[in-house]
């Protein structure tokens, strides 16, 4: 993976960890060979978060498109059931995160206005409330 791509991914992981640290006592960025990028504790329960980061918006559509599968070097790219508890989708230019429960589809498109204006802390708290 090119160094610039790794930096974009790390940016997304650390931004997500910073947001999670506002509502969780324990937040850990996990080494790259693990299935989750971040493990965190909320209300005495551990959760696994997979971070997907994009540095560029789709020019012709004005949307953010995220691939919800594992990296291209992995043979089985789809996450198994219960392998990830939630996803974090990061738009570098907006420096913002949209959290989501795992979905069936392999891609997710987020409208730019939502990506820009999402309250990430409120978003993650609503999801965690539903998981408790």
Residue 75 has a pLDDT of 65
Whether the CA torsion 105, 102, 51, 123 is positive or negative: it is: positive
Residue 72 has a pLDDT of 61
| Per-residue model confidence as pLDDT tens digits over 21-55 | 999 989 999 987 788 999 999 999 999 999 999 99
Residue 31 has a pLDDT of 86
Q: What pairing do the DSSP bridges indicate for beta strands 38-42 and 45-54?
A: antiparallel
How many distinct helices (H) and strands (E) make up the chain? Answer: 3, 7
């Amino acid at each position: 993976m090119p160094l610039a791509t790794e930096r974009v991914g790390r940016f997304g992981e650390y931004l997500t960890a910073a947001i999670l640290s506002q509502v969780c006592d324990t937040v850990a960025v996990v080494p790259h060979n693990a299935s989750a990028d971040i493990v965190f504790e909320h209300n005495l329960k551990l959760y696994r978060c997979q971070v997907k980061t994009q540095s560029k918006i789709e020019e012709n559509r004005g949307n953010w498109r995220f691939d919800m599968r594992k990296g291209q070097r992995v043979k089985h790219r789809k996450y198994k059931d219960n392998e990830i508890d939630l996803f974090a989708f990061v738009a570098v230019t907006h420096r913002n995160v949209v959290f989501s429960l795992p979905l069936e589809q392999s891609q997710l498109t987020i409208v730019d206005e939502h990506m820009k204006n999402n309250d990430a802390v409120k978003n993650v708290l609503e999801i965690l409330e539903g998981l408790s």
